[in-house]
Structure formats: C-alpha cells, structure tokens
Structure 1
Amino acid sequence: MAPPKSKVGRLTRRPEFLAVAGARRKWATPGLVLQARAHDERQHPNPGEPPVRIGLTASKKVGGAVERNRARRRLRAALAEVLAPNATPGHDFVLVARAETVRRPYADLKADLTQALKKLRVWKGKREAAQAESVLAKDENA
C-alpha cells in the first residue's frame, strides 16, 4: 500500500510570501533556500485550507526563463517527495531557487531540502508521522 499523500496548499499572493520572509526563519543550502513561518491563531489559513502551504520562487539570478522554469519543476518534485510527507503541520514554506538548483544532482537537492527542514526544526519526527498516518487511516475507514 502506498503511503498517504499529505495535502499541501499553495501560497499565491505576494503578501503571503512577504509574511514568510518576514518571519526571518530560513536555511540556505547549495541547492535552495528554505524559508518557514509557523501559523498562530490570527494567521492560520482558512478552515478549508491545508495545514502546510508552500510557495516557489526563482529570480533572474537563476538564469533565463528556461532555467527558472526547470528550477521550479525540480523544486516542486523534491517538495512532493520530501516536504509534503515530512513537514510539521501548521507552517508556511517558501522554496527559493538558486543558480545551482538547475545543475545540482536531484538526490543532493532532496538532501538539501531534508537538511533545511531539520535545521529549521520543522521535520516531523517518527512519533508525529505515526500519529498522522493513524489519523489518516481512521479518516479513510470512516
């Protein structure tokens, strides 16, 4: 049986990106920069929104349009494999592409994302992951 997919929302408006950047929690690795912001009662997304939301950005420093789009695609794939199932709920994240994002081996890019999540202390522990899976299993059976 495949592991359940975590529902991840998107940051779409500039003020949302600025709010994450304003939290001043970030970790830079060779392949990416991860910014994080925890929700509080006033800032929590609407009740219908997922507890984890992400945004992707790639500036012209990354390269031309082709390189920026490729960097965003690679980050999107890495976050689907690493961030979505392992991020602590109740956070917004912004992944910032770097010039090295396009050339870095994909396994190293995933390792960068894992390292950044752990350094920012938003990596879901084994106990939390087990609790989340049991809640999802109960929801599927209901």
Structure 2
Amino acid sequence: MERAPGPGRLLRRSEFLAVAGARRKWVAPGLILQIRRHDDRQRPAAGEPSVRVGFTASRKVGGAVERNRARRRLRAAVREIVPVLAAPGHDIVVIARAQTLSRGFDDLRQDLETGLRRLGAAREGSAS
C-alpha cells in the first residue's frame, strides 16, 4: 500500500476547538478520536500536509509523567497508522484515556484504525 507523507500537527487551541465542534468522535478503550473534514474556514496552508493531528491528555490520565508517556504512545501509533490509512483533508485529535498506558500497543493501533474507518476518514480501498 502506498504511504502518504507524515501528518502535520494541530497546535493552536482554536484548531482543537474546531475539531471538537464538528461533533464527530469515536470512543475506544485506549483513546478517543475526534475528526473534522477541512473546509473553507479552516484548512492547512499551501504546502502543508493534508492531514493534521493533535494530541491531548487530561489529568484523568495521571501526573505529568503518565500524560507524557500516554501522548508518546499515541504519537507512535499515529505515525504507523495515519500515513497509510487516513484520507487526505482531515484534522484529527487523539485524546488519551486512563487505559492508554496499560493497553497493549497492538490494541491501541487497532483502536485508531477502527476509529478512522468508523468516522469515514479512511482511504477508499484500504483493507486491513
């Protein structure tokens, strides 16, 4: 399968709020996935990747060390799955949950894959 360039990053609060405002989310044991299709109001600048990803972990996950570890695990899963599976033209927010730290890495990747498919953000013809 053809691998697209790596995803860009969502960094500003307004970008995260826009994705949450789309009200398209999927909850899995290891993560929460929120997705928003690009439109005229908010999209990447010319030359930036067409898929952007943001990560967040609240204090419910644990202290700073646990939150950072959870975000690292989610970033690693996104690096493997999103360039292969995600359709261009989407902003994605991946939210850590308390189980993110204890869930097996293969299960985290599967949660991400399933969420992309369920929310309609997977590439056409991409089969597992």
Alignment TM-score, normalising by the size of structure 1: 0.84
C-alpha displacement of 1:8: 1.1
Query: Segments of 4+ in structure 1 off by > 3 A?
Result: 2-5
Structure number with larger C-alpha Rg = 1
The code of the aligned residue for 2:8 comes to G
Where do residues 9-88 of structure 1 align in structure 2 (5 Å cutoff)? 9-88=8-87
Gaps of 5+ in 1: 130-142
C-alpha displacement of 1:42: 3.2
Between the aligned partners of 2:2 and 2:117, the Cα distance in structure 1 is 21
Sequence identity percentage:
59
Between the aligned partners of 1:85 and 1:50, the Cα distance in structure 2 is 14
CA distances 1:64-109 after superposition (whole Å, capped 9, x unpaired) = 1111011000000000111222101000000000000000000001
Between the aligned partners of 1:16 and 1:83, the Cα distance in structure 2 is 19
Between the aligned partners of 1:67 and 1:5, the Cα distance in structure 2 is 31
C-alpha displacement of 1:4: 4.1
Secondary structure, in 3 states, of the residue corresponding to 1:83?
helix
Between the aligned partners of 2:114 and 2:3, the Cα distance in structure 1 is 23
Gaps of 5+ in 2: none
Alpha carbon RMSD of aligned pairs, Å? Answer: 1.7
Report how many aligned residue pairs link the two structures: 127
The code of the aligned residue for 2:17 comes to L
C-alpha displacement of 1:125: 2.3
Alignment TM-score, normalising by the size of structure 2: 0.93
Between the aligned partners of 1:123 and 1:5, the Cα distance in structure 2 is 13
Secondary structure, in 3 states, of the residue corresponding to 2:8?
strand
Q: 1:110 — aligned with what?
A: 109
